[in-house]
Amino acid sequence: MTDRQEIPSPAPSLPRVAGLVVVDKPLGWTSHDVVSRMRRLAGTRKVGHAGTLDPAASGVLVVGVEKATKLLTYVTGTDKTYRASIRLGAATVTDDAEGDVTSTAAPERLAALTDDAVLAAVAELTGEIQQVPSAVSAIKVDGQRSYARVRKGEDVELPARPVTVHEFTVHGISREPTDAEPTAVDVEATVTCSSGTYIRALARDLGEALGVGGHLTALRRTRVGSFTLEQSHTLDELTEQVRAGGTVSTLPIDEAARGLFPVRELTAPEATDLSHGRRIAAAPARPGGAASRSGAGAGDTASAGDVAASGSEPAGGFRAGLPVACFAPDGTLVALAEDRGPADRRYTTSVLGIAAGMTFTAAAAPDATGVEKPGAGDPGAGQDGTKRTERTHD
């Protein structure tokens, strides 16, 4: 890591934008190392990450800045995609290349291992499976991290847990040093899986299923939810942005929420009530995404339905159980909310306040010419003329 004194911070006069930063984590860095660097680059201590990526792995690490740290729990729970390199023929204590080898397969056993056998074993590890996490995971056992117990020489056995492997696609199988007398069989694959899946455990289980042992040799995360490598920035790129007098490239919290959650557009009175923690009438949400506001006014709804109460995935591709992102008429993210109550008395209540204690006042309608609305040019007015003020007392 670069000396702290060489890492720039944004000028105090520059705003600290609440949002998400998609970082391409380099090899050798812990996720906490990245957070520490981002605190310096963003000029704030309010920084967190959505899902640990081991030092031996690289790729997408979603970082939250300021209020956007509140969204990280929901990012962590999304599906993820990895490019993985698996070596068959040897098992290690850590299930990856950094651990001591515990067993090796005989060359004749590896020579008899066919590509079809590998693909059949991969198919058995696809779908809904029960997976025993790696013993060197961060899972706590009696208040202590499992990996810490392993380092002290303890034999740790973790219980299996349900995970879903949506995709386990093999791109290549090669043998080292020769096909005739291999000492290892290398498998290149893409894995898309649910949160909580351990790729090193997949490598271990693949080797065990084939009777030759296996471990992970390389891992690169290419996607977390809707965030991909194509959107990511290296730490060097972010450092240069700040050194040049700017701030780090951030996806603003409003835009991030539209991509993560179903959306409900509120009227000004609804936005004010929800901002102050009061219930509002229930209404269907619309799928989020870049097009979610096209042609929609305050209070507009569509068919995403009661997402939090539904057991099915809504039309926008969001997983069940997500709250709804509620926006004021001027585009301000007011809160994440969910519908509650019996079917005949449903109401919407905030589960995570973002813009608390705000008063939103709708402006008057435009005049007959349609040229200008009252409130135009008012620094407190939103794009539609809606005024937003911070309430100082109730």
Backbone angles phi, psi at 264, to 5 degrees: -130, 125
CA distances from 296 to 253, 293, 302, 373 (A): 20, 5, 10, 19
Three-class secondary structure of residue 367 per DSSP: coil
H helices present in the chain, as ranges? 31-42, 72-76, 107-111, 115-124, 146-151, 199-210, 235-243, 253-260, 268-275
Q: Which residues lie below 8 Å from residue 216, measured CB to CB, with a gap of 6+? A: 84, 85, 86, 87, 95, 96, 97, 199, 200, 203
Out of 24, 33, 54, 205, pick the active-site residue. Answer: 54
Which DSSP string corresponds to 213-225?
Answer: -EEEEEEEEEEET
Task: List the structure tokens of 384.
Answer: 């539609």
Distance CA 391, CA 370 (A): 31
CA distances from 255 to 12, 252, 263, 359 (A): 25, 5, 11, 21
Task: List the structure tokens of 283.
Answer: 């209404």
Distance CA 247, CA 250 (A): 8
Calculate the CA dihedral of residues 112, 118, 124, 126 and round it to 10 degrees: 170
Q: In the beta sheet, which residues pair with residue 130?
A: 162
Active site residue 344: no
Asked if 191 contacts 171 with a C-beta cutoff of 8 angstroms, the reply is no
Nearest to 362 by CA among 325, 326, 329, 394: 329
Q: In the beta sheet, which residues pair with residue 390?
A: 358
Q: In the beta sheet, which residues pair with residue 279?
A: none
Nearest to 168 by CA among 107, 201, 125: 125
Residue at token pair 């407190």: 380
Rg of the chain on CA atoms, in Å: 25
Residue at token pair 């506001």: 293
Could you list the active site residues? 54
